[in-house]
Structure 1
Amino acid sequence: MTELRWGLLAAGTIAGHFAAGVEESRHGTLAAVGARDAGRAREFAARFGIPKAYGSYEDLLADPDVDAVYVSTPHALHKEWAIAAAEAGKHVLCEKPLTITAADAEEVIAAARKHDVFLMEGFMYRLHPQTRRLTELIANGAIGEVRAVDTAFSFDSNPEETARLGDPALGGGGILDVGCYCTSLARLVAQAATGEAVVEPTEVSGMARLNADGVDEYATGLLRLPGDILATISCGIRLTREDGIRVYGSRGHLHIPRPAWIHPLRTPGTSQIILTPAGGEPEVIEVEATQGVFAREADHVAAHVGDRQAPELTWAETLANLRTLDRWREAVGYGRPR
């Protein structure tokens, strides 16, 4: 394990979750925070006991006491600041999605490779024991041949309080904000079922309700994945619906009513996977998480920083997911004003 001194590039809500995770981690410390507003940076630093607060991202990246940077700006700024961090010689953990498009992600990856730094996209749910148990059950044939997966992540936000979610210039919309989880999960199921390291759908279609600027307020996608696995993925930023994961096989199905990406499961505790054999009674499988997902994420970076990529979220995995999101947004007409 490498001991990492973290700098937080942005001081928003998700940065607060990660800061708390670093405090809980075994191999990370909080070294500095940078924000566009110096007062906000100081307030954030005081809340978490961070020794340094900067009123610009550039000053944060210039700090020699920062080993790794957590980028949590709005989506549209991820590319710029992930590249800047790599150029400054900092290891990079960038909140999902890594960038708005796969082409942009290729540029970030090229920068990480050129400057020989670690880079990982922040899909913290992939590191939760629940997710790992799900893939084990699928790979071990608990429900036989996997045939379909349905997953949803959707919430109703206040447009005035979350204006960025409706702004195409900031990468708004449900597909990029939470649909990326559904896409990642559906692909992960197919990977576990087929034994392939990285898979992409052979077909992608979808529909959405778009706002006046062409940003998806809620959307549904249909994927045909290797193994002829059919996936329905649903998301939204202006619609409350029942979140969850269901995987259907030839000998039963799996149900996760509270996926590892929801807020209550970001802290240590117990979650459930419900296994129902064909014609049998449901079996509740309890999964214990002794560490919060953001602490686990920080320690995962520390464990693999020397490899420059993380085995759970390789660069190939990130690109495959973003290419799928590109196709889903194209299918629903994203960016085409009404």
Structure 2
Amino acid sequence: MKTYNWGIIGCGNVTELKSGPAYQKTKGFNLSAVMRRNIDKAEDYANRHQISKFYGDADELINDSEIDAIYIATPPDTHEYYALKVAEAGKICCIEKPMAPSYDACLNINAAFTSKNLPLFVAYYRRSLPRFTQVKYWIDNNKIGSIRHINWHLSKPASAIDLSKTYNWRTDANIAPAGYFDDLASHGLDLFAYLLGDISQANGIAINQQGLYTAMDAVTANWLHGSNITGTGSWNFGTEKREDNVEIYGSEGKIKFSVFSEQPIILESQGKTESFIIEHPENIQLFHVENIKKHLEGGYIHPSTGATAAHVAWVMDQILQTN
């Protein structure tokens, strides 16, 4: 069995528990090097996670002859820049979500990896979580009949950082034009495409209600999966309390779940209600990373690739009316 040596560009908070340890726990993967522009922080991360190499320059990591694959975990405005370098170096890549701030940037990234026949993955890890593969099983096995409609509402209060107007790249319109929508809604919309098929049409309205930062903070949308399943969504980041509710309506029942909260998944069908709690792994990207290894071994297609991630970028561009 081949062993793949991975390097991480951008070892920030997301890599501490959610993703970094998943690469260490996956059989056949070694997390061998990390990079951060602040080399002291890179060294600290490497020491705490027992990683042998650390860099302050991404090019040095990318061109390290002992590194087979790169996980890009920087803010999304730099994903394309680093991904093109990884492709040029001829290495396997996984990019943190969202893949890039625009659909056009996603197309550029995909073209670079396709031209060299290199595997490209994106960290929409919900496609690999048992909680959501159970929902897909219900849908694919007609537990609620023909699917008619999906609705998602996500909202939360403004945070202390928002209210203090402290700089946060997630609400900087130059990096994430729709703020938390870019960061959070991409997870749900990608998941819905996985559950119900690609989205063929989408449109929406995005505004800034609170004036706390430059990005948009309120978005509504409607869309169509294929030619026959309608969808609606609303996202607001200045409400009284946090809510995260998805409902999938079928001809013979309904499925309810949350995209982010670890609430039960609920199946209502034939006059009965079933409720299941399926816990996430300690490192939430573990199954996603293990599926990368299965893909690289052959005979398995990872559910989250550059192509699927580009699709959700197109959907979000349509909702935000940027194309």
Q: 1:90 offset after TM fit, Å? A: 1.8
Q: 1:144 offset after TM fit, Å? A: 1.1
User: What letter is aligned with 1:300?
Assistant: N
Match of 1:6 in 2: 6
Counterpart Cα distance in 1 of 2:277 and 2:92: 35
Cα deviations by residue, 1:262-321 (Å, 9 ceiling, x for unpaired): 5xx6xxxxx73211125x231123446667431222221122136699441244322221
Q: 1:89 offset after TM fit, Å? A: 1.9
For residues 280-319 of structure 1, what are the structure 2 equivalents within 5 Å? 280-287=271-278, 292-305=283-296, 310-319=301-310
Summarize the Cα distance change of 1:302–1:39 in structure 2 as closer, same or farther, 3 Å threshold: same
Match of 1:208 in 2: 207
Q: Contact (CA 8 Å) 2:224, 2:231: kept in 1 or not?
A: yes
Q: Which structure 2 segments of 5+ residues have no match?
A: none
Q: Secondary structure at the match of 1:142?
A: coil
Q: Contact (CA 8 Å) 2:200, 2:223: kept in 1 or not?
A: yes
Q: Contact (CA 8 Å) 2:254, 2:267: kept in 1 or not?
A: yes
Counterpart Cα distance in 2 of 1:58 and 1:238: 40
Q: 1:322 offset after TM fit, Å? A: 1.1
Q: Secondary structure at the match of 2:287?
A: helix
TM-score by length of 2: 0.88
Match of 1:78 in 2: 79
Counterpart Cα distance in 2 of 1:86 and 1:309: 22
Cα deviations by residue, 1:90-142 (Å, 9 ceiling, x for unpaired): 21100111111111111111111223321111101110012111111111111
Match of 1:94 in 2: 95
Match of 1:166 in 2: 171
Match of 2:189 in 1: 183
User: What letter is aligned with 1:190?
Assistant: L
Match of 1:247 in 2: 248
Q: Does the alignment pair 1:325 with 2:316?
A: yes
How many residues in Structure 1 have an aligned counterpart in Structure 2?
A: 315
Counterpart Cα distance in 2 of 1:28 and 1:90: 14
Match of 1:275 in 2: 267
User: What letter is aligned with 1:330?
Assistant: Q
Cα deviations by residue, 1:67-103 (Å, 9 ceiling, x for unpaired): 1111011111110011111111221100111111111
Q: CA RMSD in A?
A: 2.6
Counterpart Cα distance in 2 of 1:205 and 1:274: 28
Q: Contact (CA 8 Å) 2:221, 2:233: kept in 1 or not?
A: yes
Q: Which structure 1 segments of 5+ residues have no match?
A: 192-198, 266-270
Match of 2:44 in 1: 43
Counterpart Cα distance in 2 of 1:19 and 1:237: 29
Q: 1:66 offset after TM fit, Å? A: 1.3
Match of 2:66 in 1: 65
Match of 1:15 in 2: 15
Q: Secondary structure at the match of 1:117?
A: coil
TM-score by length of 1: 0.84
Deviates more, 1:318-327 or 1:289-298: 289-298
Counterpart Cα distance in 2 of 1:234 and 1:124: 22
Match of 2:106 in 1: 105
Counterpart Cα distance in 1 of 2:78 and 2:237: 20
